[in-house]
Amino acid sequence: MGVEIERKYLVDLKKWEKVDKPIPMHLVQGYIHKEPSKTVRVRVADTKGYITIKSKTTGISRFEYEYEVPLTDAREMLATFCGHIITKNRYNIVFADKLWQVDEFLGDNKGLYVAEIELKNEAEAFDMPDWIGEEVTSIKKYFNSYLSVQPYTTW
CA atoms of 23 and 33, how far apart (whole Å)? 31
Alpha-carbon separation of residue 87 from 44, 60, 104, 122 (angstroms): 10, 24, 9, 29
- Say whether 91 is catalytic: no
CA atoms of 74 and 45, how far apart (whole Å)? 10
- Catalytic choice (31, 91, 113, 142): 31
CA atoms of 24 and 61, how far apart (whole Å)? 26
Number of C-beta neighbours around residue 121 at 10 A? 9
Active-site residue list: 31
